Structure 1
Amino acid sequence: MKFILTKFFLIIVFVFFGCKSSNKSSAKEKIEYNLIAQELQNRGYYVKINTVKYFYSVVTAYPKTSILEDDLKKICALPNLSHINIENENLTESFFDYLNNCDLTSLEYINLKNVKLREGILCDFNGSKSEDLYLHLTKTNVGDIDFNCIAKFNAIQQLSLEGPNQKFSDDIFCNLANSNLKLKSLHLRNLQISDKFMKCLIELKDIQTFGFKKIKGRTANDMKKLEDLYFKKNGRKVTVDVFEYDSP
């Protein structure tokens, strides 16, 4: 009986001090997160760390944000990084080299605008566990190797591509269209679409919505015809949105 009471007492002590130690550790981490956020904000970043229900972090760099070479290391230290928004033409190609050491499992939103990317770096973004990942690439130098990287993602809720930088080939887009990527929505703006590209659009098996704006060499009616073409090929309807369209 004495042995049982002693054992019970030790368990209580262990649980009490273990929880107390855990709380201290959690408080220390929150302080560290806030210090990182404050430093980034001082240089023009927008940083939000949500703590209401569960941790997730949002980071945005604007055109006038003062970016240092090792900032990604700081950003990756934030809890459950979910949103990365970067619009800064002064970003160096080596900025994203730290991605290999970054936990991207919580990543839900990637928005890169006016950013010069190192060829193939998009492969290093492929760590998200989300089925609702949004990938927006605006005025970037995305090429064939990068499209091969995108094709290796498990699922993307929405892929947006905006020119005028159009470095990828029709063949590589067709490879993506026939890959195992589960893509729900594709938005294209200020790009040129060839007949071959059009044919490959209907090969996207999981697509639900297409969005087109300022497609060079094609009218709004040309793009709306995709609804019928897709139905004839796949036997199901898709939505084609043609908005704020400038006729060629």
Structure 2
Amino acid sequence: MVSFSKTDKTDLPALKALWLTCFEEDERAAELFFERTMSFTHAYKATENGEFIAAVYLVGCTLNGRQAHYLCGAATRPDCRNRGVMSGLIRFALDDAKNRGDVFSVLFPADEGLYRFYSRLGYLAKCTARTRRLTRADLGDTQNPGCGTPDTDVLQKLSLKNNFLFWNKDFVAFASDYYGVYGVKTVRSENAFAIYSLKGRTATVYYSIYNEIKELKSLLSTIKADTYIITGTGANPLLAGAKREICGMLRPLTNENPPDDVFIGITLN
């Protein structure tokens, strides 16, 4: 019989082992997740005959000032799949989250099949993002952005405006190091922050926050690129007019109406 419960510290070795079994993950990245996020993440497990067969994680965040979480790391042992274990575990985790006060659950499915799977669990395709290809000339006249450690709490509020997942500082710092394992880079100044990858002379900017748009332009100009593929929200003037695309799902856990056009920003497995 399959049973569901929250995890505790003694489960960490089994959680790590299952994560590495189910995902094509660098072990260093997995270690970062378990070392750096567990203080604000709720983890749940499914067991059968005393054996660990599935897990899922709810990373704490807020959405429009309401308590929320980002669901990730949904992993089922290969020989236990297609039995409804994960559906049951997610329902158990969401019930616990609702009782804890979470208002919204947000996630980013890896493929179309998972969009269908999560829709059966009540998730709605209400998360979006905008993407635009720009040239260095589009950045205009820029200045040396200087150096410094940005206050990511302040920058999120200033640049993303509304309908976005607000990540705590520890998670933003973790994400920078986590993606760094895969060669993704971070640039920062006192007034701007961006996570990007570089292929040839093209920089793909996955996430950016800033005090003023000129600060972001100056920061991006320090990347040795001729072309920039930037993803973000319509609040970013560089993306004004860019077409919205579905980029994640949201499920309300109460009777509160879910917002449209929610931006997740930083995503994990």
Superposition TM-score tier, normalisation by shorter sequence = under 0.3
Greater relative CO (CA pairs within 8 A, separation 6+): 2
TM, length-normalised to structure 1: 0.28
Q: Which structure is higher in helix share? A: 1
TM, length-normalised to structure 2: 0.26
Larger Rg: 1
